[in-house]
Chain A
Amino acid sequence: MLADWLYIGIFLIISLFLPSVALIVAGILGPKKPNPVKNSTYECGVETFGESLTQFKVQYYLYALVFLVFDVEAIFLYPWAVAYQVQTVFYVVEAIIFVLILLFALWYAWRKGALEWV
């Protein structure tokens, strides 16, 4: 199992290595003749004005939070689903209760309009 993770680690290192090599080699080898036009921001369309780090809408936060809740729910249900073959009815009912409680959370968020993009 540890060997499987080793492959992921090797791919991680390669995926960090290749783009950084491309950038560094280009920075070393590339000729540098700057002028104001070249140094201006590469922008498609109108140049931005004001600060780019403005306050975002609260909807992003709510969406991320609803996602977090159901992410954790999926994590809890995954081991249960792996053991599904050897379970009795009682175990399945417990998981259904678990899901129903969270469905109530979804219903509440829905009713309150938290899922609507305004």
Chain B
Amino acid sequence: MVRSELIARLAERNPHLYQRDIERIVSTIFEEISAALAQGDRVELRGFGAFSVKRRTARVARNPRTGAAVAVADKHIPFFKSGKELRERLNVPASGGET
């Protein structure tokens, strides 16, 4: 599912809303999460998961082709840990019933 399909599905379930508004809702949500992470904040959505920023310390890496040492500076990368409910949803057999 890509962004446009997500918008289409939401539009189908919310016929009273303008498609334009749904587009804004979806972009606002991802923009808020991105902006929070860019400030180093954490975003915690219970049951879904948590986005955070992890720091990777500077290191000396190697160009695998030439073997030359390359300095890699400190960097910050976004990280997502899935929430308990979402993890469980992924592992529920379609039929229900089983463990």
Asked if A pairs with B, the answer is no
Binding site for A on B (CB under 8 A): none
